[in-house]
Amino acid sequence: MAFFPSSVLDLAENVLKACRERGILLVTAESCTGGLIGAIITAIPGSSDVFHAGYVTYGNSAKETMLEIPPSLIRRDGAVSEAVAFAMARGALEESPAGVAVAVTGVAGPGGGSESKPVGTVHIAVVTEGGNTLHRICLFDGDRDSIRLQTAEMAMRLVLEILGAE
C-alpha cells in the first residue's frame, strides 16, 4: 500500500535524482506541512544518500531556536511570509552540509486564516549553497490534507526548478 499518490512519489524520485547528479544533499524546513515533504522524500528507497535532515518547526519558538530566526522578523512580517520562508531555508542550509534547502510556511486550515492570509496561503522558499534563491506564494484550495499535499508537491517542483532539472 502506498501512502502517497504515484505522481508525488515520481516528483520525489526526480528530486533525489537531481541532487545525486549534482552531488548535493537536501534539507527541509517545514511548518504547515509538519514533515510531509521529508516523509514523501524518505518514502523512496535509497533516499538516505541525498536527504540530510528535515526540520519541523511548526511553532514560532521552534523556528527561532532550531533555525535561528530572529523573533523580531516573525513579529514584523508574521510566520507566514516570504521573509520567514527564506529565513527558514537559509537557517536549515546553515545548520547542515546540504547544498539545497526548501522551506514552507503557511495556513493549512481549516482555521487560522485572515483577510490578508486566507486558508491555503503558503510561502515556499528554496536556497542553494551557491546563493541562488526561489520563492513562490501560493493560494491552494481544498481541505487541510489537500493544502498540505499541494504544498509538498510545489516545494519539490521548486527544488527541481532551482536545480535546473524541471
Model confidence pLDDT, tens digit, residues 52-79: 999 999 999 999 999 999 999 999 999 9
Residues 40, 133, 55, 16: is their CA dihedral positive or negative?
positive
Dihedral of CA atoms 145, 150, 156, 160 in degrees, nearest 10, equals 170
One-letter identity of residue 16: L
Alpha-carbon torsion (69, 71, 77, 79), positive or negative: positive
Strands (DSSP E) contained in 68-120 are: 100-106
**Given CA atoms 80, 48, 100, 146 in this order, what sign does their dihedral have?**
negative
- Of 109, 132, 103, the C-alpha closest to 121 is 109
Q: How many other C-beta atoms are found inside a 10 Å radius of the C-beta of residue 48?
A: 9
pLDDT band at 1 (very low <50, low <70, confident <90, very high): very low
Residue 93, all three cell numbers: 542550509
Determine the longest span between alpha carbons in the chain, in angstroms.
45
Q: Which helix (H) or strand (E) holds 9?
A: helix 6-22
CA distance 88 to 51: 17
* pLDDT of 116 above 50: yes
Write down the mean pLDDT value for the chain: 96
pLDDT of the residue at 3: 86
Mean pLDDT of 41-47: 97
Phi, psi of 72 (to 5 degrees): -65, -30
For residue range 120-131, what is the model confidence (pLDDT) as tens digits? 999 999 999 999
Tell me if the pTM is above 0.85: yes
- Among 7-16, 106-115, 152-161, name the one with the lowest average pLDDT: 106-115
Could you give the domains of the chain? 6-162 (3.90.950.20)
Half-sphere exposure of 144 (CA within 13 A, CB side): 8
Confidence check: pLDDT of 17 > 60: yes
Looking at residue 113, its pLDDT comes to 87
